[in-house]
């Protein structure tokens, strides 16, 4: 079977890790061009050593290269602002699709085990954020059993795993993740918090998911969560529950106040997750970056199989 040619824009940690994943693990995607703007970046140097053609002159140079004609998928691993610039060029080519790993959210949010099927014909899909990829499947799993009024996630990542791009996009991270908790996870209201933990040695990514839903069958919710974890593990083997699912009744006599919703009662569900990276390019503790590149790779490969 011939492979589909792809390009990656962004030669930082996320772009480089995605490139290595494609080279080492993909049986359907082929690296064509690796694009950056810093000729001295480690990512571009590594790509050259691995036999991948590169350019340090950005999107303008990419579309002028002869390989551009055969490229079908463009992964964008730059920044939210840069993605808007890149998309202005790529959208002019109807035969190409963009998978956006920034918080720009130009296209619809996509979390592979939750809403892939509803986005197969879209030309620009957004992979939300690392926190979103880790936690929205859990919110959706609860919502499949009992309507979720409120979903809150706290993503704790090692400070060392947050590069310049991540740090520059903190505001977009919280806004994009909160929006996707609602639009993809199904919550009426979403909130997202990110914590950069400076602990040494660096900590593995940890995520806390809290939902307030209608009352529902607790065992059914637990099973739904475990089934969703198994789905994510198909492309992120290091994704797992840190503790068993916990429940708490919020009685009608003692409701909680949720901004934008007012007082609500129901079933509180708490899920604690950990994400260990595959260690392809980044340290294993950088599960926050690994889950983004793994989700993007899984999306690209599924699109190829369908089309």
Q: Which positions are catalytic? A: 130
Spatial distance between the Cα atoms of 245 and 238, rounded to a whole number of angstroms = 18
How long a stretch of residues is the chain?
307
H/E segment holding residue 21 = helix 13-25
Of 255, 140, 241, 244, which Cα lies nearest the Cα of 190?
140
| Contact yes or no for 273/240 (Cβ under 8 A) | yes
DSSP one-letter string for 235-282:
T-TTEEESS--EEEEE-TTS-EEETTTEEE-EEEEEEEEEE----SSS
Q: How far is CA 189 from CA 8, 134, 165, in A?
A: 34, 18, 27
H/E segment holding residue 26 = none
Give the side-chain half-sphere CA count within 13 A for 260. Answer: 9
As separate numbers, helices (DSSP H) first and strands (DSSP E) second, the chain gives: 10, 14
Spatial distance between the Cα atoms of 76 and 9, rounded to a whole number of angstroms = 5
As given in the structure block, the two tokens for residue 43 are 């990512």
How many CB atoms are closer than 10 A to CB 85?
Answer: 15
| Contact yes or no for 225/141 (Cβ under 8 A) | yes
């Amino acid at each position: 079977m011939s492979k589909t040619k792809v390009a990656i824009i962004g030669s930082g940690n996320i772009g480089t890790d995605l490139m290595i994943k494609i080279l080492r693990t993909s049986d359907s995607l082929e690296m064509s061009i690796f694009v950056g703007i810093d000729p001295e970046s480690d990512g571009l140097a590594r790509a050259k050593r691995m036999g991948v053609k590169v350019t340090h002159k950005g999107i303008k140079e990419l579309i002028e290269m002869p390989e551009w004609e055969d490229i079908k998928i463009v992964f964008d691993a730059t920044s939210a602002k840069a993605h808007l610039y890149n998309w202005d060029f790529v959208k002019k080519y109807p035969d190409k699709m963009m998978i956006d790993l920034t918080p720009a959210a130009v296209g619809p949010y996509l979390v592979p085990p939750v809403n892939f099927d509803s986005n197969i014909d879209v030309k620009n899909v957004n992979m939300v954020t690392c926190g979103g990829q880790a936690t929205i499947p859990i919110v959706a799993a609860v919502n499949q059993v009992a309507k979720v009024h409120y979903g809150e996630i706290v993503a704790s990542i090692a400070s060392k795993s947050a590069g310049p791009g991540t740090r520059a996009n903190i505001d977009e991270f919280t806004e994009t993740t909160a929006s996707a908790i609602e639009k993809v996870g199904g919550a009426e209201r979403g909130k997202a918090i990110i914590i950069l933990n400076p602990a040494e040695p660096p900590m593995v990514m940890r995520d806390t998911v809290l939902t307030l839903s209608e009352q529902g069958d607790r065992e059914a919710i637990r099973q739904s969560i475990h089934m969703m974890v198994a789905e994510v593990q198909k492309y992120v083997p290091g994704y797992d529950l840190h503790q068993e699912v916990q429940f708490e009744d919020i009685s009608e006599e003692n409701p909680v106040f949720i901004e934008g919703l007012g007082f609500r009662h129901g079933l509180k569900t708490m899920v604690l997750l950990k994400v260990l990276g595959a260690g392809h390019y980044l340290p294993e503790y950088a599960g926050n970056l690994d889950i983004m590149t793994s989700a993007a790779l899984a999306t690209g490969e599924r699109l190829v199989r369908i089309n």
